[in-house]
């Protein structure tokens, strides 16, 4: 059956930034289709809550509290998966972010920090995971980029540039790791994470954000998790080096971003 291609029974996944938002939704989605999950982030209480949800779905969860802005900590996660579960099949590189600020109110250091946080950490875990996966059955790597890495918006110089680099890193690493490891990415648009909720609230700014999106709503973390699930499973077995925009139509319809001034 075609739905069997969406299964990850007894496979093992590592998800970074797994304590909340897109990372938490992705980890739970992977568990729902049969994967055991290594959950990594800085806040243990959040990780424990997500681990509980994974176990409620009948799968094993292993919590790794770690500062993943350190590439060495990111690289260590492949070893955590092997030590705990004896294999590694899927990696979701969800760690990332950056402080908003236009060119005139940002610095070269903020750009370098954004690259370390969004690109260097992904590279570190990708390298470590690839070494493990190539000793086994191969696997799938899913990077979380951003629509801001593909379209221009005021105030996101460092973050957007780093995500653009991550998008092309996805293509280049896919070429290097094929055919045994597939590497793809999801580029979310405006998704209602806890950070965005603080920014847009429930009033006029949220209404403005929704109105500027062709589908007229803000995305949910599960919208992104569904795309992650597709790219992590054999449902996408003939895809590598691709970036899927989950952005309500912003990129495909060439919509100018109407973001709040930062």
d(CA 93, CA 115): 14
Tokens at residue 101, please?
């600020």
CB of 168 closer than 8 Å to CB of 178? no
Beta bridge partners, 244, equal 186
CB 16 within 8 A of CB 125: yes
Q: Is there a catalytic annotation at residue 238?
A: no
Residue 133 · residue 180 · CB < 8 Å: yes
Q: Whose structure tokens read 């903020």?
A: 110
The one catalytic residue in 159, 169, 230, 238 is 159
Residues with a catalytic annotation lie at 159
């Amino acid at each position: 059956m075609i739905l069997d291609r969406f299964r990850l029974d007894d496979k093992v996944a590592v998800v970074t930034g797994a304590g909340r938002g897109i990372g938490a939704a992705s980890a739970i989605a992977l568990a729902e289709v049969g994967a055991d999950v290594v959950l990594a982030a800085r806040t243990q209480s959040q990780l424990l809550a997500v681990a509980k949800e994974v176990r409620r779905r009948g799968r094993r969860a292993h919590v790794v509290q770690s500062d993943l802005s350190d590439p060495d900590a990111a690289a260590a996660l492949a070893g955590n998966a092997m030590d705990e579960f004896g294999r590694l099949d899927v990696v979701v590189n969800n760690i990332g972010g950056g402080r908003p600020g236009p060119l005139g109110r940002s610095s070269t250091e903020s750009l370098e920090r954004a690259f370390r946080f969004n690109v260097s950490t992904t590279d570190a875990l990708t390298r470590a995971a690839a070494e493990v996966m190539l000793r086994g059955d191969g696997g799938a790597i899913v990077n979380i980029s951003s629509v801001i890495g593909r379209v221009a918006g005021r105030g996101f110089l460092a973050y957007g540039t780093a995500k653009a680099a991550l998008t092309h890193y996805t293509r280049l690493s896919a070429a290097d790791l094929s055919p045994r490891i597939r590497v793809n990415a999801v580029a979310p648009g405006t998704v209602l994470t806890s950070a965005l909720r603080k920014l847009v609230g429930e009033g006029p700014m949220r209404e403005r954000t929704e109105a500027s999106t062709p589908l007229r709503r803000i995305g949910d973390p599960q919208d992104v998790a569904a795309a992650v699930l597709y790219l992590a499973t054999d449902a996408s077995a003939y895809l590598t080096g691709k970036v899927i925009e989950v952005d309500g139509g912003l990129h495909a319809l060439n919509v100018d971003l109407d973001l709040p001034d930062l």
